[in-house]
Amino acid sequence: MAEIAGKRIVLGVTGGIAAYKAAELTRLLVKAGATVDVVMTEAATRFVSAVTFQALSGRPVWSSLWSDENRSMAHIDLTRGADAVLVAPATADFLARLAHGMANDLLTTLCQARDCPLLVAPAMNRQMWEQPATQRNVAQLAADGVAVLGPAAGEQACGEVGEGRMLEAQEVFDALVAFVQPKPLAGKKVMLTAGPTFEALDPVRGLTNTSSGKMGFALARACAEAGAEVTLVAGPVCESQSSRYAAKRIDVVSALEMRDAVLAALPGQDVFIAVAAVADYRPASPSEHKIKKGAQTLSIELVANPDILAEVAARPDAPFCVGFAAESRNLAEYAEGKRKAKKLPLVVGNLVQDGLGGDTNQVTLFDATGAHPLPAGDKLAVARGIVSHIERLMKCPE
């Protein structure tokens, strides 16, 4: 994970049952190439031992302002040169002390003395989270520039169900990786389409394709990481993570529904990325009832669906439009033909055997200057490469 490799993270751990997740988070960060300095509150050591974090991080664990190992003014030195301070879990007590500028242990003191960004992942009982005082403290921290990650809703250690549960370690890791990315699209609004469409034949059958939506969701995440406000129009997919990165998610089924959703959300968008594998045709007259098996052949009249990308690109106030061309052959010919026919600044082309439905992709970017292959990789890495190219084209249009 090159996006976090070489970064130095100060990981604060406070006294909550979710402290066990911080151990897994430490493992993920170290595995990705980050240097992790763990700072524990006294209460945190009641849940997970310092030895655990020392073994996982390979570095000394800090816990007190007064112990001998802190004679070098750790509350100052630990954050110098750090890329971020991340407190996970962050209890209600810790958030309250932080919001009011208190510095009465090593962790709160270094948070006050830091010269790097601060992120917190709240973790507490649902009623503690809902308390007006906690909400005021969190709002104050956000106003002060602290990034608040979560919390999530779900079953809690006390047996109750509600909001206040700390995000899972992988979710916190992903949020931290996103946080440290460059922000070339800050202030921009980006709308994407993702996944397939489903064109009904009858109440239970339809025409669709094998698009998983993973490339569109990866691009939504990459755009959000780059600082954009993301609207995601998603066809029927099995992805549950996309809404974490989209400011707004709109779920649709058919091509006509996708067109309506795109046009309704289009005003004010700076970029439109048409990743979805939209069906070119739909049944002219879907059956009201299930089609029963009978004759050996069945004829279905199909009519053309609207070309959403072409319609958006042709508008006088069109945003920067990016198309996708998934082909089984003649990629350069067909992708460049699509770019010219629709007058697009950029088309992302790939062979279906290289990426459709899978977790990796290999794409070539076609713009006015020619073809630009990107290295094959997981779809998020490819998406980040596409976003970088979009940013360059928007900054220096040909």
Convert the pLDDT of each residue in 334-357 to its tens digit. Answer: 999 999 999 999 999 998 876 676
| pLDDT for the residue numbered 154 | 81
Mean per-residue pLDDT of the chain: 90
User: 396 an active-site residue?
Assistant: no
| pLDDT for the residue numbered 70 | 47
- Domain boundaries along the sequence of the chain: 8-179, 189-395
- What CATH fold (topology level) applies to the domain 8-179? Rossmann fold (3.40.50)
166 has a pLDDT exceeding 50: yes
pTM: 0.82
pLDDT band for position 1 (cuts 50, 70, 90): very low
**Active-site position among 111, 158, 238, 321:** 158
Give the pLDDT confidence of 200-250 residue by residue, as tens digits: 999 999 999 988 899 999 999 999 999 999 999 999 987 555 567 778 999
Question: Considering the domain 189-395, what is its CATH architecture?
Answer: 3-Layer(aba) Sandwich (3.40)
pLDDT band for position 58 (cuts 50, 70, 90): very high
71 has a pLDDT exceeding 60: no
Domains 8-179 and 189-395 share a fold: yes
95 has a pLDDT exceeding 90: yes
At 163, the amino acid letter reads E
| pLDDT for the residue numbered 73 | 63
